[in-house]
Chain A
Amino acid sequence: MTRVSSAVAICLLLPATAFASLGGTVTSVETDRVQMKAALVGITQRGAYTVHTIQSPTGTTIREYYGTDGVIFGVAWEGAWQPDLRQLFGTYFDRYQGALQAARKARRARGQVAIDDGTVVVQIGGHLGSVTGAAYVPRLLPASVDAGVIK
């Protein structure tokens, strides 16, 4: 509880940046939370990075990962309903949509998403009653952090 309160205090002190999560700073976590009308569930420090967990009103759990520089290098989600991916991916959403469209030209997998366009990696699986996803920007990963933690 004390951690949550301190996070709220931080958020009150920092100006909310415009829309942007992945690639944005920790202040945008609060922007996401407000935009999504989500609840802050917890904050966990794991060595070189910190995880903010929020819950969207539709029940989907969203985790946002940032390093000591406060830059969000990864997001992950799990629940019945897909979250607002533009909100979560920020400036990377247009790249994601473009990569999906480009993938339609090739023989492609249907039933899940596995995008890696060299800049952003997006993996989504499940079915409409149960969706699991993760996205990260390899360039932003802290040196000691493996992308496998983003889930």
Chain B
Amino acid sequence: MPRLFVFGTLLLVAQVSSPQCGSTTPSSPGSDSSGSGGTTVTSNVLPIVVNGGPTNNALNLAFATVTICVPGTSNCQTIGGILVDTGSAGLRIVSSAVTLPLTQQTGASGAPVVECLPFLNSVTWGPVVTADVKLAGEQASAIPIQIIGTDKFPSIPTACSNLGSPEETVSELSANGILGIGLGNHDCGIDCTVVGPSNPGLYYTCPASGSCQITQEPVANQVVNPVSVFPSDNNGTIIQLPAVPLGGQASITGSLIFGIGTQSNNGLGSAKVLTTDASGNIRTTFNGQSYGKSFLDSGSNGLFFLDAATTGMPACRLSIGFYCPTAVRPLSATQLGANGATSVVSFNAGNVDALNSTFSVMGEATGLNPGGFDWGLPFFFGRSIYTAIAGRSTPAGVGPYWAY
């Protein structure tokens, strides 16, 4: 169970505040009254865009705009270019993008709490602060978020940097921040509440004098999936994106919808539910082999599976981590949920090096992932993908699951 709280991906992208990615200011928080019987309907649709992002060089990354506020006040800031990541939990924003004075979280000793989050190809280091987070008409009040950057706590502990390579700036991340809205409620869970070497070392306290030390972080203080603490529409999300033609395109827009089966616009309809195992994985069968380490992740920018020897597709020369078959290759695989539900998926693998350099969207972007299948953002194109949060009730049962 603790595993279900975790989940993160490594993505990171950046760009300089382009109008496309910063322009979708959320509607005013709260509720609008809507008609019948005095029921209130909360605005639960946040526009998203897949484009070059704040650094104008992203590929297949979905960005949203978030509003953060000093808790309980109207002292707020709206920040675009935030990566939408169903592979992690919690909001993280690069320090250079934040002007708001937010209160630093402190540990039992009174020392500041600073987090080291190990994504796969990076770690993010920076303080945990408290903010109100507003997404469309929804609000997560006074929640812990991470401010990424070394400006206040410049010495990244070696135990942190030894997990990967720190990414601390907008250009390193290719984003102004990461909005983690995956299966997990928190970014660590009970593993981070224990003392000693079995603590994975995500949370530190950094006293004014002396070095930062790994600390026990109560679950309630951990960086939290903002959706899970909304007053309503808090059991999951839907990401809707249009289909993309072969050859890619410059950008696309879509929606991030909060709640599953809680309003008239977020019902499951005929969507097929694939539940996950305790580690947040499903299985994928490809060419007669079954791979257990499989998952859906909007924060991965391709469909990543297996290796060149197994797939017969060469790795790209320029686009690191991607396959570059000389011609588009039609492929098929079958996803299998822990509940036994299956879904046959047809997809294409194309040459990522050959993508028009002004394009930021490519459905046939595939790449290496020897452990299994990472169904990244291209899988979301042309679909409505439901992500149900662990332990939350929905009309199709309790999360965690994916459905589409």
Contact = CB atoms under 8 A, between A and B. Distances in A.
Real complex partners, A and B?
yes
Contacts of A37: 197
B385 interface: no
A114 B322 CA distance: 9
A124 B297 contact: no
B319 A112 contact: no
Contact of B371 (A93, A126, A128): A126
Nearest to B86: A127
A91 to B, nearest CB: 14
B374 A111 contact: yes
A85 B88 contact: no
Contact of A84 (B163, B172, B367): B163
The majority secondary structure among interface residues of chain A is mixed
A110 B163 CA distance: 17
B198 A129 contact: no
A17 interface: no
18 contacts: A58-B198, A84-B163, A104-B172, A107-B320, A109-B300, A109-B322, A110-B11, A111-B121, A112-B121, A112-B368, A115-B320, A125-B372, A126-B374, A128-B117, A129-B279, A130-B280, A132-B370, A132-B372
B118 A128 contact: yes
Contacts of A107: 57, 59, 318-320, 352, 355
B309 interface: yes
B279 A57 contact: no
Nearest to A108: B320
Main secondary structure of the interface of B (DSSP, over half): loop
Contact of A110 (B4, B10, B187, B307): B10
A78 B309 CA distance: 21
B370 A125 contact: yes
A116 to B, nearest CB: 8
A59 B3 CA distance: 11
Contacts, number: 186
B51 to A, nearest CB: 14
A114 B162 contact: no
B304 A82 contact: no
B165 A97 contact: yes
Contacts of B187: 128
A109 B319 contact: yes
A5 B169 CA distance: 49
B61 interface: yes
A114 B3 contact: no
Interface of B: 2-13, 57, 59, 61, 87-88, 117-122, 158-159, 161-165, 167, 172, 174, 182, 184, 187, 191, 196-200, 279-281, 293, 295, 297, 299-302, 304, 307, 309, 315, 318-322, 352, 355, 367-372, 374, 376
Given A101-B165, A114-B320, A128-B8, A80 B191 contact: yes
Contacts of B122: 100
Nearest to B353: A107
Please provide the 6 A-B residue pairs with the shortest distance between their CB atoms, ordered closest to farther: A111-B300, A109-B321, A128-B8, A132-B371, A129-B6, A110-B11
A110 B88 CA distance: 13
Given A112-B120, A127-B7, A130-B280, A106 B320 contact: yes
A86 B159 CA distance: 9
Contacts of A47: none
Contact of B297 (A36, A101, A111): A111
Contact of B320 (A103, A128, A132): A103
A87 B280 CA distance: 27
Interface string A62-80: 0000000000000000101
Contacts of B297: 111, 127
A129 B7 contact: yes
